[in-house]
Amino acid sequence: MGQLDNKVALVTGATTGIGLASAKRLAVEGAHVFVTGRRKPELDAAVAEIRTAAGDRVTGVASDVSKHDDLDALFAAIEQFGRGLDIVHANAGGGELAALEEITPQMLDHTFGINVAGTVFTVQKALPLLNAGATIVLTGSTSATDGTPNFSVYAATKAAIRSFGRTWAAELAQRGIRVNTIVPGPTNTPGLAQLAPTPEDAPGLLGMIASGVPLGRLGEPDEIANAVLFLASSQSSFMTGGEIFVDGGVRQI
């Protein structure tokens, strides 16, 4: 018996990092998981990895959260599966470093298009498919509430996520749908390493970031997935509009 037997879940941005760990955890607990990402080879590899851990309870749909047509095709595939949707982990996202002077309209549109609009329209288009008691988990960031230099655009998108989580929780409570936000601290993923200007610079950057974490290390994606499972399952049944920080103490101490 898994905690999520017979549930259907969607995890966006599940080809690597936090999304992949979340999707794998939800599938191991019994859910059938739809996973997305833009890069087909990485998506196929993620599906194979989840299959090895959890059997056939996984469907990959190559899909860009910033494209409405892609989202429509994704939700058509979930509708065709025929069991509605119980869990949405709107996780796809990312960012890049840029000082205020370096921010371009293209960069702003790109980051807000994925992290903000992508999250809005993922959740909006999921609404007709949501079963009674469905849960929505948004991926926030400790950046939403700090002032890390050169990270203002990304931080602003994650502050928007925090706000959406509260408002949508209020809007959806009458339908019995809960909305919560997982707040990872620095986590050992390809997305974090890609903040370095070159691959050679990545170990130095990751080491520097880890040294600023009270627990003295980066988080691992599986440690974030543990909290996603809690928010996605009935274990968190009296929780909505909330946040769980899994941040090694970064925003706590």
Ligand X SMILES: NC(=O)c1ccc[n+]([C@@H]2O[C@H](COP(=O)([O-])OP(=O)(O)OC[C@H]3O[C@@H](n4cnc5c(N)ncnc54)[C@H](OP(=O)(O)O)[C@@H]3O)[C@@H](O)[C@H]2O)c1
User: Of 26, 37, 172, 177, which lies in the binding site for ligand X, with binding defined by CB under 6 A?
Assistant: 37
The site that binds ligand X (CB under 6 A) totals a number of residues, namely: 31
Which amino acid type is present at position 186?
A: P
User: Which range, of 38-46, 80-88, 171-179, 235-243, touches ligand X by CB under 6 A?
Assistant: 38-46
Whether the Cβ atoms of residue 83 and residue 59 lie closer than 8 Å to each other: no
Interface pattern 125-154 for ligand X (x via CB under 6 A): --------------x-x-------------
Among 9, 15, 47, 164, binds ligand X (CB under 6 A): 15
Is the Cβ–Cβ distance between 219 and 246 less than 8 Å? Answer: yes
Q: Is 154 a catalytic residue?
A: yes
Edge to edge, the sheet with strand 58-62 lists 58-62, 32-37, 8-11, 85-90, 130-139, 178-184, 243-246
3-state secondary structure of 175: helix
Contact flag: residue 165 with ligand X (CB under 6 A): no
What CA–CA distance (Å, rounded) separates 21 from 226? Answer: 9
Tokens of 142: 């400790």
Nearer to ligand X, 65 or 82 (CB): 65
- Asked if residue 248 binds ligand X (CB under 6 A), the reply is no
Residue numbers at the binding site for ligand X (CB under 6 A): 12-19, 36-39, 42, 64-66, 91-94, 114, 118, 139, 141, 184, 186-187, 189-192
